[in-house]
Chains A and B, each alone.
Chain A
Amino acid sequence: MKWWLLIGVFGLFACVPTEKTDGSQAKLLEIIERLDRDRRDQQRATSEAKARDELRSELKREINDEFQSRFIPLERNLAALVDRMESIESSRQKGVDDESRTLAELKKAARDLGAEVASLTEALTSEREGRTTLERRLTKLEGSLRSQPEDIQRLVEASFDAKFDDKLAPRLSQSDKRLTALSDLVGQSQTKLDASVTSLAKQVADLAADKTDAAQGARIDKLAGDVAAVKTLIDGYAKGSSTAVKSVEAKVDALAGSITTELGKQVAALEARLAKSNDNAALRTELERLLATHATKLGDLSKQLSAATASRDALDKKLGALETELAEIKSDVKQNPKGDRAVGKRLDALEKKLELDNARREQEVKDLALRIDALGATLSQGLETIRKQAAARIDKQKTREVADGSGEQETSPTGPAAKSEAGSDKTGGRANGLEEGAFWEDPFLIAAGVALLLLLGYLLFRRDEEDEAEAQSDAEWESSVNELAQAVGEEELEPKRSVPDQTRAAMEQARLLAAALEAHTQGLHDVDQKPSSSAFEAPATEPQHQRSEAETHRQRPDTRAEPVARELSQPTSRSRNGEPAPSVQSLRVSPREAATGGDEAVRSLLTADPRVLIEPAPRVEWRSDGALSIRFYVHGEVGGREAEDLVHACRELAVRE
């Protein structure tokens, strides 16, 4: 532009008369020098600005890398924290959040448990007191039971001794005496008997020696009578002795029976006492079982209470940790805004991302508006064409009237327009037509009405047409598959068909406009997408120029199936349809370890591995300090170990052997 101005000025001065050439020449040279100086200044400023841009871009990339490598976890934590805080906030506001409900239920359960525990504790205390009393009584009873057998034994022994001393001993002594007397008597009798028997035996021997007279026979008979008397005496003694013995034995048996009876009574009493003590043991067992049951129940209640308390404590702790983390982040940001530059950058990035999202939404709204405008423009264009045709017809009619020399008024439908004083003014002509004729006589209105009806019909029956067309397509599909069943073709559509030049030019124009539109869309967000401009162009005017091109293009219908080229943003924790978001893997190889050509090897590995996502694309870059920076994304379902193996493989390729 300036050169054209220079040439113009030169030409102007070239046309000046020669008398003024000297002064003008000096002025011209001065202007040229000033322009040259300005141009050099601008070139220098532009080169400096370019260097500053490159430096800023490098700095931005380094900051971005640093941020990606160090603060991704912070981002996740921050996102989780924000989500958590939002959920907590919403739950607080609505009061229907599950956690609040759970907490309220837990508190209610804790209160119920506390009341139940208190009642149980009270019952247990009373039971313990009862148990203590019972135990005391049991102990006493046990002591008495333990002492009772000894007492009984002592009592039995004492009773036996007393009864023996009182009754049995005199009777036994009497019996003994009798027995002794009897024995003595028996002894005496035996002695007498022996003596008698001896004398008798002597006499019998004497008699046996004499055996001569009858007197001896009488004497023998008398002796036999004496012997019989002795025998009777002996029998009497024996009988008396036997009776006495039997009497003593009966008395001893009676005493033994009385002692046995007494002992049986004592044993029965003892057994009764023992049975009573057994009842007490059963009672004690039942009491212990009851106590154990209550203890178990109390333990369960204590566990539930402790679990509820732990859950509440965990919730409080979690909330406290979140609040602490948020407070730390806030304090870090507040206290150290310059030192922790990355945190500030992160916040800025988040803010910027939010702004970008808003801008994108606004852009979508604008796109929609542009589409509507495009539709309106198409309709307006059609109406304009019809209007032009009507005007042309009016002009033609007017020309014919002039050529025929007819000044009479026409009764044709174009008459009102022909009568218009401002025939060249279509709007005025239409206005006059409306004033002077019926509206159905105006061809423009008729054409516009027909167009409107066609448009309405198209909008109303478009879906039916689509369905009909798709049904037709389905039938064609059916027939084609049937044909396929007959024979499988080998023919393919010609990969590159010849396209008419006019169509190709239109397509090329559409491509250019689409590129300009994308540049405009992305230029709002990504400075790297700006097209390179010459040194003399002012960057400030560039977006407006692109916007005008974009708007021009937006009036055309979108010829792409879906807008695929979009700005790449950082993956969030989870995509819209619930799939796990990709995980970023980053690696930095230090300058002394990085091998020459390692970047190419790593790049080829990442390109070949299907686990590595192609978008966001892997980045393998040499840093300014000679380090190799590697960053790529893998599918969210790829396991941590698998990702680590991949990173390890990259490192093996990148480091010097």
Chain B
Amino acid sequence: MGFRLDAPVPSVGRPVRLELLGVQWLFERRAEGVACVAVEESLAYEGLLGLPEDGLLRIEPVLPRHALEVRITSNLVLAPGSRVKGWLALPVEQRISFVDGDGAQQLLVLEESRLRTGWRDGSGYYHPWTSGFHLQPRKDLGRRAWVRTFIRNRAADVIEADLCRLALGDLDVEVLRGLAIGPGVHWSFGIGGGVRVRPVPRFSGSPVLRAGFPRFGEVAS
């Protein structure tokens, strides 16, 4: 369970305002329904929702559901036996859900406008994406999920890390100091190399991580 914001469904005369990762949401109940407006740098979404009187509105950051094919724009050259670490800036979407006693039901997803989709026989859909290899996450790049990435060269030759395929669609995203933090990525070259992903631990609203870090395959509770 990743980060999420819950708010009661707006009533007449009591609009609901929420902000997540620089996106301001406004929900206002009118005669014709619940007006929904999202503003990032400009108008990102505008629509009319039909919602019952009771229940909750939920906003949560989610990663794109298809695999991301990330092309790293920074030059990363690794000698045999070396490693580098940094952050990748990946697209993050926002999912709006309606929650009542029967559970949460997705209403809409605010997608990343730059995100495109491709398809290959055998591997299915993917999203091409470009990102630099950053030393620290940055707020000035807008709505991004920051993924801590460790690259290791176990091969016998010099390698250049430039393209990585990450399937992160079902993994959680946490929010820390206004930054979306995604799962950890271990990318290794050589025999038995590949990409391994570890889920992000829960921050529980605290900037300090838990002491115990989940091992590979475990899910942070």
Is B148 part of the binding interface, using a Cβ–Cβ cutoff of 8 Å? yes
* Residues in B170-184 with C-beta less than 8 Å from chain A: 176-179, 181, 184
Query: With A481-B176, A561-B163, A576-B123 in contact, do A614 and B117 touch (Cβ < 8 Å)?
Result: yes
A610 within 8 A of B: yes
Across the interface, do A561 and B164 meet the contact criterion of CB distance under 8 Å? yes
Query: 0/1 per residue, B182-221, Cβ < 8 Å to A?
Result: 0010111111101110100000000111000100100000
**Residues from 606 to 636 in A contacting B, C-beta threshold 8 Å:** 610, 613-616, 633, 635
Closest partner residue, chain A, to B113 (CB atom): A610
The interface residues of chain B lying within 8 Å CB-to-CB of A497 are 74-75
Instruction: Indicate with 1 or 0, residue by residue over A468-507, a CB within 8 angstroms of chain B CB atoms.
Output: 0110011111101110111011111111110100010011
Judging by beta carbons under 8 Å apart, are B216 and A488 in contact?
Answer: no
Contact A610 B137 (CB under 8 A): no
Q: Tell me, rounded to whole Å, the shortest Cβ–Cβ distance linking A570 to chain B.
A: 7
A494 to B84, CA, bound (A): 14
B-contact 0/1 string along A343-380, CB 8 Å cutoff: 00000000000000000000000000000000100100
State whether A491 touches B189 (Cβ < 8 A).
no
Q: Which residue of A lies closest to B206 (CB)?
A: A485
Stretch at the interface among B13-21, B47-55, B100-108, B127-135: B127-135
Q: Does A571 count as interface, using CB distance less than 8 angstroms?
A: yes
Q: From A302-310, A535-543, A552-560, give the one contacting chain B.
A: A552-560
Chain A residues in 8 Å Cβ range of B133 = 493
State which residues 104-143 of B face A: CB under 8 Å.
111, 113, 115-125, 128, 132-140
CB-defined contacts of B136 to chain A, threshold 8 Å: 484, 488-492
Please give the distance in Å from A385's CB to the nearest CB on chain B: 13
Interface size range on B against A: 35 or more
A569 on interface, CB distance cutoff 8 Å: yes
Contact (Cβ within 8 A) A562 B165: yes
Q: Are B118 and A488 in contact (CB under 8 A)?
A: no
- The residue that A493 contacts in the complex, of B113, B135, B156, B164, with Cβ under 8 A, is B135
List 6 A-B residue pairs with CB atoms under 8 Å apart, sorted by A's residue number.
A484-B136, A492-B138, A499-B75, A557-B190, A572-B121, A615-B119
A503 to B158 alpha-carbon distance, docked (Å): 8
Listed in ascending order, the chain A residues whose CB lies under 8 Å from chain B are 375, 378, 462-463, 466-467, 469-470, 473-478, 480-482, 484-486, 488-497, 499, 503, 506-507, 510, 556-557, 559-562, 564, 566, 568-572, 575-577, 579, 581-582, 610, 613-616, 633, 635
Residues of B within 8 A of A476 (CB): 85, 150
Q: Give the top 3 A-B pairs by smallest Cβ distance, nearest first.
A: A489-B136, A485-B207, A615-B118
> Which residues in A have their C-beta under 8 angstroms from that of B118?
613-615
CB proximity of B182 to chain A, nearest CB, Å: 11
Give chain A residues whose Cβ lies under 8 Å from the Cβ of B75. Answer: 495-497, 499
For residues 137 through 157 of chain B, which have their beta carbon under 8 Å from a beta carbon of chain A?
Answer: 137-140, 148, 150, 152, 154-157
A495 touches B132 (CB 8 A): yes
Contact A559 B159 (CB under 8 A): yes
A492-B135, A560-B163, A615-B118 known; A469 vs B177 contact (CB < 8 Å): no
B77 at the interface (CB under 8 A from A): yes
Contact in complex: B192, A462 (CB < 8 Å): yes
Q: Is the CB of A507 within 8 A of B120?
A: no
Query: How many angstroms from the CA of A318 to the CA of B133 in the assembled complex?
Result: 57
A564/B163 in contact, CB under 8 A: yes
Given A478-B213, A493-B86, A561-B187, CB of A582 within 8 Å of CB of B137: no
Check A614/B148 contact, CB under 8 A, given A490-B136, A495-B73, A570-B121.
Answer: no
* Given known contacts A492-B138, A566-B120, A610-B113, A481 and B209 CB-to-CB distance under 8 angstroms: yes
**B208 with A557: CB separation less than 8 A:** no
Q: Is the CB of A557 within 8 A of B157?
A: yes
The interface centre, meaning the residue of A375, A492, A497, A499 with most chain B CB atoms within 10 A of its CB, is A492
Give the complex CA separation of A580 and B140 in angstroms: 37
Complex CA–CA separation, A556 to B121 (angstroms): 27
A474 touches B209 (CB 8 A): no
Q: Contact at B137–A488, with CB atoms within 8 Å?
A: yes
A19 to chain B, nearest CB (A): 63
Given contacts A510-B157, A557-B189, A613-B116, 20 further A-B contacts (CB under 8 A): A463-B192, A469-B152, A470-B186, A473-B186, A476-B85, A489-B135, A494-B74, A503-B158, A556-B157, A559-B157, A559-B189, A561-B164, A561-B165, A562-B164, A568-B121, A575-B119, A581-B119, A610-B113, A610-B115, A614-B117
When the two chains form the complex, which single residue of B125, B128, B135, B187 contacts A575, counting CB atoms closer than 8 Å? B125
